[in-house]
Structure 1
Amino acid sequence: MGQSVSHSSLPPATSSSRQCPVDHQALDKSSPAQCPVDHEALKAAQKPAQCPVDHGAINSLNQMPSLTQSRAPDQTMDLPLERTTSSIPRDGSAKWEYPSPQQFYNALVRKGWETPEEHVETMVEIHNFLNEEAWEEVLKWEKRQPGGSESDIHLTRFKGRPGELSPKARFWMLAGWLLPSRFNTEPPFDRHDWIVRRPKTGEEVRYVIDYYSAPPLPDGSPVFSLDVRPALDSFGSLKERIAVATEDVWANLRENQNKN
């Protein structure tokens, strides 16, 4: 299960709006919308595009990234300190929070990324938006489970794995190398592993999420594609992956027959 999402459809970023677990936001309205990350500069520096927040650095007391709210050295403008609450359940009573723009900027500085401060809020908005969309894809998978309910499951922990290609990503890279006119040759710009817990059974399921850049819209708005699926850690996950793939094949065949 995967989908393409456009930044042009993003809602205004507020502390109460539904958004995702890491933030990206604020461009000049007079210029066409575009991705604030300079991918060419990243390639030149031989640094793969990736989420700057270290998802493995979790504070054990509150299960949230340990990121400072203090201004970075040489920072020239104030950045918001407010953290947005996501729609993603952390347990039965709490939801995950996204880093504030200041925390996100500090993560960029720590990784040595040169990012214009005025673009940080936009970057936070995009990152949060993508993670919200990823959670929606997880829910689609979970609803396929017998008695599955989106109100039951929660994201118990997660980890960013930038630069680590999943087996599926490697397969599509090979396909792009063999048939570049048909398949994308760009690797995913980020990867997350999310551990979802099903409280009714106590079972934990690992989901793999590959984040891809897609061709921009005619107005220049960036588009992203998410490939979200349960990892092949169990026979049940393998069965679900095969079932969904089969359903997609039949759906495409029926669509082609209707066109003819």
Structure 2
Amino acid sequence: MTLLRTILARRPWRREFLAWSMVLGASLLVLVFLVLAREIIEGETHRLDDAILTALRTPGDPSVLIGPAWLTKVMTDITALGGVTVLTLITTLVTLYLVLARAERTALFLVVSIVGGWGLSNLLKIGVGRPRPDLVPHLVEVHDLSFPSGHAMLSAIVYLTLGALLSRLETRKRLRFFFMATALVLTLIIGLSRIFLGVHYPTDVIGGWCAGLAWASLTWFAAQRLLGWRTATDRPAEGDPDEGTLGAADRMPGHERGSRQ
């Protein structure tokens, strides 16, 4: 038992288990996405989608959301957090921070991951070719195709990637949990806002979440392999190619706290 506990306590073993668990989770999400896409193409989801969209509008006046009058404004503000403008601004600012922190490789990886996710989102939309819902009036302007929801997918990719990045720079578990929980909450409410505003079917949003979570998981796995996603308390190995870039950014929070203590 003592030997087993020693093996389980080793960090490399735990990291490998977590890494391959992420790959397995991504595979399951891709499977769900493919099944959902097939059902949508065959028209099997229309009844449920239409029922949910109708239930969110005032009977007799589908242009008005159920609930308080301020709900439309709240949903409009929330949905902007998943728009291209806001996500591009956040990604640019974080990339600049990483460059200034001499973590150029991490900055490049971040940009490639997010741009790749944006490209994948557009390809998936074209591949399925689902038009926007026309059952209820749209409360914000939209132009492109519907499945998967770009807001749901890209918010999952951007916020979860940034949440993972911030988590690995922090030594305190409660703050790591806070970063990831915040990313998940933002992804959830942005997706829900698209349904409330009538610009996406519920299955569009679910598909976006699945694709975004899968991409973010695979990105995390690739980063661990290519960059070495160390925590703030880890010291880089001698000759580590990231020692002057990624390693410097990793070590700043932990070392600064250590020097103050």
TM-score range, shorter chain: under 0.3
Q: Comparing both structures, which one devotes a greater share of its residues to strand?
A: 1
Q: Comparing both structures, which one devotes a greater share of its residues to helix?
A: 2
TM-score (norm 2): 0.25
Larger radius of gyration: 2
TM-score (norm 1): 0.25
